[in-house]
Amino acid sequence: MQFLTTDLAQEMVERTMRILDKNINVMNADGVIIGSGERNRIGQKHDGARLVLTSGNSMEIDHEASLHLEGVRRGINLPICFREQVVGVIGITGEPEDIRHHAELVKMAAELVLEQSFLLERVQWRQRIESEIVNQLISDSDVGDHQLKNRAAWLGMDLDKRRMAIIFQPVPSSEDAVHKMMHAIQYDKNAEDLLGMTFRHELVLLRQPISDHFFKHVVGQLQRTMEKAVGGQVLVGIGTVAADISQLSLSFEHARDSLRLGKALDPEESIYFFESYQLERLLITAGAVEENSSWVDFYKPLTQEAELAHTLRIYIEEGGDLQRIVDRLFIHRNTLRYRLDKIQALTGKDPRHVKQLMELYMVQLMSHLS
């Protein structure tokens, strides 16, 4: 496995040279310079590094020694170790007696950069695997349960636990924003929660259910953390609890529906629970079956009457409570009765009749969401 790359070697050089006003070289396991404060030396062989790689020990090189070694100047060369293995060499240019007291610190700095890079790569690898598992679970793919559970077990995840799908959607949505959100909450989520990104640039959290009151607090905290990371609004759609992994795709569908309906019907809110929109989803599903039928034509006259359409919406939101309706619309009760009568005259449907009101609401929803 190649631990030292040219990018990583140059990062070691630049970090170290900010602290130590000396040229730094980094050599790979073949003794070739792959990072240097003197860019023209990159690609050259370094005999001093090869001796360090062979012995595993640091080596001081004075002026006389440098004359007999290829690509070498006065300085100190030290092994870069990772997991008890010498993977490269870092060299400091200068008189050995002047830089000796810096040598071990430079070596430690290089090894720290290497360790950080390795840990970051492991985190990114884990995130990729976790995201793949999430997408397979919410897409109801043909990958067998046994195979999915085995992959999750590599991450220490138990897929037999009950979970629910939560979608976090930045406004505006972008891949970069979702990556920032994912990074922001990576260590805030529970160890058993699964986190992934969809091709639509949604962040999906498969979370274990908890009590309603605490759940709202947790989701709100995650939302605020993400909004701080992206510098903008993040909308949240919350699906139903899945009894097992076979139902997670349905939970995800519910979360996506709650987002779609919530944004349209309650734009002043930012967290939407599927339970609040079950009726609307049923009405839209039923209406979609007959979408191309003439039965919805009754609503067309109302699309030209914005005031009446708005009155109908407030009438539905307030559950037919006349006082609350007139208060919201700032009109007299007689004006409200006149408008309801006009809605009936234009559509043939009386809003004061429950069944006909449901028909009006169904088509109004379809019109509003189209």
Domains assigned to the chain: 6-114 (3.30.450.20), 139-281 (3.30.70.270), 290-369 (1.10.10.2840)
Q: What span, in angstroms and rounded, lies between the C-alpha atoms of 282 and 59?
A: 76
What's at 172, amino acid-wise?
P
Report the DSSP pairing between strands 85-93 and 24-27.
antiparallel
Q: Counting every residue, how long is the chain? A: 370
Q: Which residues contact 353 (CB under 8 A, 6 or more apart)?
A: none
Q: What span, in angstroms and rounded, lies between the C-alpha atoms of 72 and 63?
A: 10
Cα–Cα distance list, 182 to 33, 201, 226, 273 (Å): 37, 11, 8, 21
Asked whether the bond before 172 is cis by omega within 30 degrees of 0, the reply is yes
pLDDT reported for residue 39: 92
**Encoding tokens for residue 173?**
């949505």
pLDDT reported for residue 119: 81
pLDDT reported for residue 212: 76
pLDDT reported for residue 4: 85
Q: What is the full per-residue pLDDT of the chain (370 aa) written as tens digits?
A: 467 889 899 999 998 888 788 999 999 999 999 999 999 999 999 999 999 999 999 999 998 888 888 889 999 999 999 988 999 999 999 999 999 988 998 999 899 999 888 887 887 888 888 999 999 999 866 656 777 888 888 778 888 899 999 999 999 999 999 999 999 998 888 888 999 999 889 999 999 988 877 888 999 999 999 999 999 999 999 999 998 898 999 999 999 999 999 998 899 999 999 999 998 888 877 766 555 566 778 988 998 999 999 999 999 989 999 999 999 999 999 999 999 999 999 999 999 999 999 889 888 888 877 6
Cα–Cα distance list, 290 to 213, 295, 300, 323, 363 (Å): 39, 8, 15, 35, 11
pLDDT reported for residue 144: 62
pLDDT reported for residue 143: 56
pLDDT reported for residue 80: 95
pLDDT reported for residue 142: 61
Q: Which residues contact 1 (CB under 8 A, 6 or more apart)?
A: none
Cα–Cα distance list, 303 to 173, 297, 353, 355 (Å): 30, 11, 21, 20
Backbone φ, ψ for residue 240 (5° rounding): -85, 165
- Three-state secondary structure of the chain: CCCCCHHHHHHHHHHHHHHCCCCEEEECCCCEEEEECCHHHCCCECHHHHHHHHHCCCEEECHHHHCCCCCCCCEEEEEEEECCEEEEEEEEECCHHHHHHHHHHHHHHHHHHHHHHHHHHHHHHHHHHHHHHHHHHHCCCCCCHHHHHHHHHHCCCCCCCCEEEEEEEEECCCHHHHHHHHHHHCCCCCCCCEEEECCCCCEEEEECCCCHHHHHHHHHHHHHHHHHHHCCEEEEEEEEEECCHHHHHHHHHHHHHHHHHHHHHCCCCCEEEHHHHHHHHHHHHHHHHCCCCHHHHHHHHHHCCHHHHHHHHHHHHCCCCHHHHHHHHCCCHHHHHHHHHHHHHHHCCCCCCHHHHHHHHHHHHHHHHC
Q: What span, in angstroms and rounded, lies between the C-alpha atoms of 63 and 264?
A: 76
Burial state string for 291-311 with b = 16 or more CB within 10 A and e = fewer than 16: eeeeebebbeebeebeebbeb
pLDDT reported for residue 304: 92
Structural contact between residues 356 and 322, judged by C-beta atoms closer than 8 angstroms = no
